[in-house]
Structure 1
Amino acid sequence: MTDIVRGVAVVIAALAMSGGVQAAQDDDIGRLIVGQAQLAEPETTGSVDGDQSPSTPPLAPPPIAVAPAPRAPAAAREASDAYPVDLLISLANDAVFTPDPYPKGRRSDPRMIKLQVLLDRNNASPGVIDGLFGDNVVKAVMAFEEMVGHKVDGQLDAELWAALEKTSAEPVLVAYTITPEDVAGPFIPELPQDYALQAELPGLSYRDAAEMLAERFHMDEAFLRRLNPEVSFTEAGAEIVVANVGKPLKAKVANIVADKGRKQLRGYDAAGRLIVAYPATIGSSDLPSPSGVHAVKAIAVNPDYWYRPKVNFVQGSNTKALRLPPGPNGPVGATWIGLDKPTYGLHGTPEPSKIDKTNSHGCVRLTNWDARELAGLVQPGVPVDFQDPEGASAPVLAEQPPVQALEPAPLSAETADPEYAPEPARIPMLRDRRADIR
């Protein structure tokens, strides 16, 4: 496994990148120019009242719009990947910049794997790492461009690739040995969707070690299994290949912008510099996110969740208030950052692969790992500017109090979130977008 991770000869990589391995004809981030006005709005997966309209009017589509196929089962997605696993791993670690197009559909590309990991290391989160091109990658590229003073146009060129590579020389895929703690659980293989049943559980834990490890290494679970086809993820001592992601950012965020048009949460330091960016699901038509500037009020790691049907929404036949136990598969994931506007906050999600593909119920939904990192970067009083697609402006910094150590605040009924966790068991079709946009 170690030899696999270190890669094969550069000659093989060069051959593959120059055409020795089949490349598709579309989805070329090297040729795509995407500004804020060109990111199309995703369709909603539905809401409590059955509203199927997007939370905001669709924005202008990219120059090429190809209707994507519905999400296939994991086995089918793995079968569609043209690269043998060993070659995919070695080519990802040895990948160099080329203007060649990325594959259509659900086929992971070694250059995209490397790009996603490098963006993740540089605090421009692409969401789940899966080797697939999409909007979340383009948004991360744009954020990194802003961070390094490059022209912000969403184009990946040789200069930007070199800037990313300069930040870290470590391989992007590495070996990891599963520990006894990793497989010890507790796990809940069959997690009920009904809140009344969830309220009876001791915790809303991961379903298995594979789901837990995928989140730890910021990966799509199907992609993790694709890289490790012979591993059951049930036994300690097994060696697997994982994404070599970056360490959590240690700087402090002085101002947050929730960009509704770009579907991205952006954190700025006290000097107004962009230091972190996350793809996000922001509001919906039935419960839109707030407008204007609000402030962080409370922070809770691994919070309880308060279901209040008389205040927020009704799930199924549950008409009584419920207290759901904490856990990464809870309605708000493993982290809650409450705002001074009651019931609204920034939080994690039990389904990281759906970030920016579905609508939320008013709050800002992030991957669990991005939400946990953000919780360590902010403190009560940090402003959160909700910017609408039209007329978005640069963040206005507020004077901040001295940074102090913060203990996570308990989540109470007064700061509970109106999120509705269950989603239909499919990824919705995306309108006016390139194929398989993230």
Structure 2
Amino acid sequence: MRMSLVLAAAVMMPGAAIAQKPAQKSAAVPDRNVLHVQVILDMLGFGPGVLDGKGGQSLVAALKGFQEAKGLPRTGKPDAATLRALYPYRQKRPTARVTLDQAMMAGPYVNPLPKDYGEQAKLPSLAYRRPLEKLAEMFHTTPAVLVALNPGVTRIAVGSKIVVPNVLPASREYDGSLRPDWRQTLAMLNVDARQPKADHVVVDKSDGVLRVMDANDKLVAQFTATMGSEHDPLPLGSWKIYGADYNPKFHYNPDLFWDAKKGDDKELLPAGPNGPVGVVWIDLSKEHYGIHGTPNPETIGRAESHGCIRLTNWDAARLAMMIKPGTKAVFKA
């Protein structure tokens, strides 16, 4: 999808010029108009997945969610009515220039990260592989997009200034009752402390999204999701959310995985953003099923799962702030 010139006029604020070299095949420079729309939707809780300045099914789904919430026709396009609805948020610029500090660059890092679960179980954590991967997740994007946004930058360190998608939150005043390590994760992922409260959530396989609804059945947030597969279909029906496990360890049971390797043993994997369930596990009344994060945000909405509902780590963290034990979860085709 290529945003029109009308969109540029309607939702793009003037900012400092950004020098850009011709796009390389491996990392095309993101379209700032598209990126601006993605950033605004992400801010408003209609997650388009990875912020990459490209069109695609995740952006179409996010636009449809925003349109539904605003009472507009669900076209999935940046039409005139949608541009008018986006206009009040135009001050949220598509990119920001940040100075890397000690906390942003801090590890631990594990590189290479073994694929074998037995080897992973021996590690102290399933951490990011390198600083660039961590920074990409912090700013809801990919390493390739960060590279494309920063032509000529060949090395990053504490004190480096780089351009990133503008997901900086308005508030980091997190609930003081939350565990300190979880508050640190929320801050690292640039999750805003102010979130709507869910009355129930609806996982819609036909749209590939998870919807957050209030008590009046109004859509208040929506996230692109991966759900089920031919081997492990989405368990349709109504379930309850039991609670959330923050920065969880993962109990690997090969008996529950159709694609497990012969001879695999049960393993307890350490916590970390590159673990199989990412930074949070939201437990469901359906045994062995949950809503969780992922170590591969670029695959959300584009791959299959083992029946569970996968979100990007930042969206899963945000959802965890919206729900509580007893929240109903409806799964439909």
Structure 1 residues 252, 318: CA separation in 2 closer, same or farther (over 3 Å shift)? Answer: farther
CA distance in 2, matches of 1:287, 1:258: 15
CA distance in 2, matches of 1:233, 1:149: 46
Mapped pair 1:242 → 2:164:
yes
CA distance in 1, matches of 2:24, 2:120: 29
Which whole-Å deviations, capped at 9, do the CAs of 1:398-435 have from their partners, x for residues lacking one? xxxxxxxxxxxxxxxxxxxxxxxxxxxxxxxxxxxxxx
Q: For residue 87 of structure 1, what is the aligned residue in structure 2?
A: none
Structure 1 residues 123, 170: CA separation in 2 closer, same or farther (over 3 Å shift)? Answer: same
CA distance in 2, matches of 1:179, 1:222: 21
TM-score with structure 2 length normalisation? 0.84
Q: Tell me the matched-pair count.
A: 294
Structure number with the higher strand fraction is 2
Q: Is the 8 A contact 1:124 1:278 kept in 2?
A: yes
Superposed CA RMSD in Å reads 2.0
CA distance in 2, matches of 1:214, 1:159: 32
Q: For residue 131 of structure 2, what is the aligned residue in structure 1?
A: 209
Mapped pair 1:288 → 2:222:
no
Q: For residue 77 of structure 1, what is the aligned residue in structure 2?
A: 26
Mapped pair 1:181 → 2:103:
yes
Of 212, 234, 245, the residue aligned with 1:267 is 212
Unaligned runs of 5+ in 2: 1-13, 170-191
TM-fit CA distance, 1:121 = 1.2
Q: Is the 8 A contact 2:100 2:159 kept in 1?
A: yes
Amino acid at match of 2:15: R
Q: For residue 16 of structure 1, what is the aligned residue in structure 2?
A: none
CA distance in 2, matches of 1:231, 1:256: 42
TM-score with structure 1 length normalisation? 0.64
TM-fit CA distance, 1:318 = 4.5
CA distance in 1, matches of 2:292, 2:331: 15
Mapped pair 1:225 → 2:120:
no
TM-fit CA distance, 1:329 = 0.3
CA distance in 2, matches of 1:349, 1:195: 16
TM-fit CA distance, 1:205 = 0.3
Mapped pair 1:199 → 2:121:
yes
CA distance in 2, matches of 1:232, 1:344: 42
Which whole-Å deviations, capped at 9, do the CAs of 1:91-132 have from their partners, x for residues lacking one? xxxxxxxxxxxxxxxxx3221111111111111110000011
| Consecutive aligned runs of 4 or more in structure 1 exceeding 6 Å deviation | none
Q: Please identify the structure whose Cα radius of gyration is greater.
A: 1
Which has the higher relative contact order, 1 or 2, with Cα contacts under 8 A spaced 6 or more apart?
1
CA distance in 2, matches of 1:75, 1:6: 24
Which whole-Å deviations, capped at 9, do the CAs of 1:7-55 have from their partners, x for residues lacking one? 349xxxxxxxxxxxx9xxxxxxxxxxxxxxxxxxxxxxxxxxxxxxxxx
Q: Is the 8 A contact 1:348 1:367 kept in 2?
A: yes
Of 298, 301, 326, the residue aligned with 2:271 is 326
3-state SS of paired residue (1:267) = strand
Q: Is the 8 A contact 1:231 1:238 kept in 2?
A: no
Q: Is the 8 A contact 2:40 2:92 kept in 1?
A: no
TM-fit CA distance, 1:233 = 5.4
Q: Is the 8 A contact 1:252 1:378 kept in 2?
A: yes
3-state SS of paired residue (2:255) = coil
Q: Is the 8 A contact 1:194 1:316 kept in 2?
A: no
